[in-house]
């Protein structure tokens, strides 16, 4: 493959008309300022429109975990999520303004989605900078930056209180800053310029935020530290400036670690589910390594198919640039860092996951969604700039990668792709490609993704209107995926969850200062009750051998089959307690008692 497809190439030299101070340059800056301002507002508006029906967390337990962590950070009550996944405090810290603006759960939730929308829409200017760095013409970088910001991995997850709403922006911002730091020209005397220093510090701050927000940030942290070390060893950057960057990184990571530890007694008083132990066991056994490699491959397959093969084109291009002899050393290091992040996230998250007997264990798109926009943009650059021979080579390599990863999934998962639980939330893109929101179809999704790749290649080959047709095709598919996912996945989940758990019409939850839930009530129901009882301290007990806490004034018990609601309290309820509501739901049956 030629150098024209190499990632993060240097943009064209400045011409006379581009120089600062000229009327043409000032006019151009004003035009682009308004283009990006209005474009960012449009991206925010799209996100708020899609989120108009979202009133409660349905991506449980993740959304609930981040909301409860933010509630604790603003001085709110605890919520017992013991033996569950630990949710870190970086992203909840970003949500704290929502708790200052709202005084009820729905208002707080909607305010959090506004914060998501504002951050997620920043993908537009960042994707534009990336495309310009990849030498895509300015007139096409802007529309394709919009397309990148509309990818379901960016757009769909911004409709939920998840780190996935902001991590794609964080990762791309880190890459751009790290590239600026790594390739900045040396000052006379060997010192660091202000621009170089700010870029390095900014990249370190973003890495520390990612690390404080999610375990995927640990992979980003290792990649960042590796690049810093290589830059010093190769004498690309002065050691003093790099030491300052590393010192700031260490201080911020230490502060983030302290923040995360401070949340543990408030949300996990009896311990968590030990995902790190799962990873250690998988790394030290043959079966565990097979699980990791196979499930990680499934994540790569998902991102290839979900982007119509474009991200796969970007992935093989970055891999080629990393291996190509003529690639400049600094760009090679960045390419290797990106590949390490993909491998690290895919295989580490697969290794930590417990076997939940769901199809999403074997093919899942959310974890790699944070890095997908980068590879998508590289793939777009190849489609727009590469010669016909190079483009065909890249597209055929991407198709081969997609089919190969699908074969690995089919070989390892086998009939579990049909026997195990289908969770519709796990498949927003592939459900659209197969037009089925009730079952997973590996090969149907694979062929659909390859058809989209073929159409993209054909569109790119048209001389006059090819780029416009390509942008329209990719934008239409991305929006259709997200809109159908909202209508067929998100909104039904909200309606069902509210119908199964909302007690606001039966009792004044503001007066209930403490809520206790029976451990035998399914965890999805428990977390929803904690959410609606926003002002209440939340705790869990096992009604089979433990009485409810004496301080509780709202208790939710598991409701046995074929028995009246009054039988839900073992041995009978104490005097003064009465039933306020009882429901039998597909998730589980429960009875709420108050005094």
pLDDT digits (tens, 9 = 90+) for 297-352: 999 999 999 999 999 999 999 999 999 999 999 999 999 999 999 999 999 999 98
**Which ranges constitute the DSSP H helices of 424-521?**
428-434, 442-461, 466-485, 491-501
**Which ranges constitute the DSSP H helices of 324-387?**
329-352, 372-385
Q: Is 435 left (phi over 0), alpha (psi -120 to 50) or beta?
A: left
Q: What does 381-405 look like in DSSP terms, one character per residue?
A: HHHHHS-HHHHHHHHHHHHHHHHHH
* 508 close to 185: Cβ distance less than 8 angstroms: no
Q: pTM for the whole thing?
A: 0.93
3-state helix, strand, coil in the chain (%, to 5): 65, 5, 30
Place of tokens 């230490």: 254
Residue 37's Cβ-count burial label (10 Å; 0-12, 13-18, 19+) is: exposed
The number of residues making up the chain comes to: 595
- What does the pLDDT read at residue 247? 96
pLDDT(529) > 80 = yes
pLDDT(7) > 80 = no
- What does the pLDDT read at residue 189? 59
φ/ψ of residue 245, rounded to 5: -60, -45
* 293 close to 347: Cβ distance less than 8 angstroms: yes
pLDDT(13) > 70 = no
% of residues, the chain, pLDDT over 70:
95
Q: What is the mean pLDDT of residues 455-465?
A: 91
Place of tokens 């002065």: 238
Query: What confidence tier does 20 reach under pLDDT thresholds 50, 70, 90?
Result: low
CA nearest to 120, candidates 139, 96, 86, 146: 146
Q: What is the mean pLDDT of residues 59-81?
A: 94
CA distances to 88, 159, 285 from 53, rounded to whole Å, are 27, 10, 46
Mean pLDDT rounded to a whole number for the chain:
92
Angle at 129 between CA 193 and CA 459, to 5 degrees: 155
Q: Residues 6 or more apart from 184 whose CB is under 8 A from it?
A: 193, 195, 196, 199
pLDDT(256) > 60 = yes
Q: How many Cβ atoms are within 10 Å of 549's Cβ, its own excluded? A: 15
Using CA of residue 219, residue 224, residue 228, residue 234, what is the dihedral sign?
positive
Using CA of residue 491, residue 497, residue 499, residue 503, what is the dihedral sign?
negative
518 beta partners: 541
* 279 close to 271: Cβ distance less than 8 angstroms: no
Structure tokens given for 577? 């307690």
- What does the pLDDT read at residue 289? 93
d(CA 543, CA 587): 19
pLDDT(6) > 50 = no
- What does the pLDDT read at residue 14? 41
- What does the pLDDT read at residue 19? 56
d(CA 517, CA 530): 9
Q: What is the mean pLDDT of residues 473-491?
A: 97
C-alpha dihedral (158, 163, 169, 171), degrees to nearest 10 = -150
- What does the pLDDT read at residue 98? 96
φ/ψ of residue 266, rounded to 5: -85, -30
CA nearest to 452, candidates 318, 316, 306: 306
Sheet with 554-558, edge to edge strand ranges: 537-541, 514-518, 554-558, 589-594, 578-584
d(CA 513, CA 510): 7
- What does the pLDDT read at residue 3? 39
Q: What is the mean pLDDT of residues 199-203?
A: 96
Q: What is the pLDDT of residues 389-430, one digit of tens each?
A: 999 999 999 999 999 999 999 999 999 999 999 999 999 999
Q: What is the DSSP code (8-state) at residue 518?
A: E
* 340 close to 226: Cβ distance less than 8 angstroms: yes
- What does the pLDDT read at residue 330? 95
pLDDT(358) > 80 = yes
């Amino acid at each position: 493959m030629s150098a024209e497809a190499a990632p993060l190439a240097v943009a064209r030299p400045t011409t006379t008309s581009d120089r600062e101070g000229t009327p043409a340059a000032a006019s151009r800056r004003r035009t682009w300022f308004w283009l990006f301002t209005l474009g960012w507002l449009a991206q925010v508006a799209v996100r708020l429109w899609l989120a108009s029906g979202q009133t409660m967390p349905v991506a449980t337990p993740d959304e609930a975990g981040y909301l409860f962590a933010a509630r604790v950070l603003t001085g709110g009550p605890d919520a017992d999520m013991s033996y569950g996944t630990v949710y870190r405090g970086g992203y909840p810290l970003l949500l704290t303004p929502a708790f200052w603006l709202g005084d009820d759960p729905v208002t707080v939730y909607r305010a959090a989605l506004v914060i998501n929308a504002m951050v997620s829409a920043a993908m537009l200017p960042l994707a534009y900078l990336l495309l310009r760095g990849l030498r895509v013409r300015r007139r096409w970088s802007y529309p394709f930056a919009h397309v990148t910001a509309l990818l379901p991995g960016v757009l769909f997850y911004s409709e939920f209180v998840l780190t996935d709403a902001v991590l794609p922006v964080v990762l791309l911002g880190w890459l751009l800053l790290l590239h600026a730091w790594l390739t900045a020209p040396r000052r006379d005397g060997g010192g660091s310029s202000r621009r170089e220093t700010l870029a390095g510090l900014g990249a370190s701050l973003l890495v520390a935020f990612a690390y404080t927000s999610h375990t995927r940030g640990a992979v980003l942290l290792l990649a960042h530290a590796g690049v810093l070390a290589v830059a010093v060893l190769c004498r690309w950057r002065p050691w003093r400036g790099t030491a300052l960057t590393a010192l700031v990184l260490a201080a911020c990571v230490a502060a983030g670690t302290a923040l995360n530890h401070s949340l543990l007694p408030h949300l996990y008083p009896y311990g968590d589910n030990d995902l790190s132990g799962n990873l250690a066991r998988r790394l030290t056994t043959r079966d565990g390594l097979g699980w990791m490699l196979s499930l990680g491959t499934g994540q790569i397959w998902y991102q290839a198919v979900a982007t119509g093969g474009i991200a796969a084109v970007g992935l093989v291009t970055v891999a080629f640039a990393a291996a190509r002899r003529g690639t400049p050393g600094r760009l090679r290091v960045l390419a290797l860092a990106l590949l390490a992040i993909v491998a690290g996230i895919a295989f580490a998250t697969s290794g930590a996951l417990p076997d939940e007997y769901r199809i999403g264990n074997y093919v899942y798109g959310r974890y790699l969604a944070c890095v997908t926009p980068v590879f998508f943009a590289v793939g777009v650059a190849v489609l727009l700039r590469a010669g016909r021979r190079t483009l065909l080579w890249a597209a055929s390599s991407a198709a081969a990668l997609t089919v190969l990863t699908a074969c690995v999934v089919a070989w390892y998962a086998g009939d579990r792709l049909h026997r195990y639980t289908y969770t519709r939330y796990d498949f927003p893109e592939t459900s659209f490609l197969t037009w089925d929101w009730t079952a997973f179809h590996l090969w149907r999704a694979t062929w659909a993704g390859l058809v989209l790749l073929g159409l993209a290649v054909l569109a790119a080959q048209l001389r006059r209107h090819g780029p416009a047709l390509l942008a329209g095709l990719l934008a239409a598919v991305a929006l259709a995926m997200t809109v159908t996912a909202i209508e067929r996945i998100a909104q039904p989940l909200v309606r069902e969850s509210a119908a199964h758990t909302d007690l606001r019409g039966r009792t004044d939850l503001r007066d209930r200062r403490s809520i206790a839930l029976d451990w035998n009530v399914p965890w999805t129901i428990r977390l929803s009750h904690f959410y609606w009882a926003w002002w209440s301290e939340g705790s869990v007990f096992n009604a089979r051998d433990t009485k409810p806490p004496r301080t509780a004034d709202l208790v939710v018990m598991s409701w046995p089959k074929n028995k009246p609601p009054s039988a839900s309290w073992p041995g009978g309820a104490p005097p003064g307690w009465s039933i306020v509501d009882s429901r039998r739901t597909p998730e589980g049956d429960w009875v709420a008692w108050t005094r």
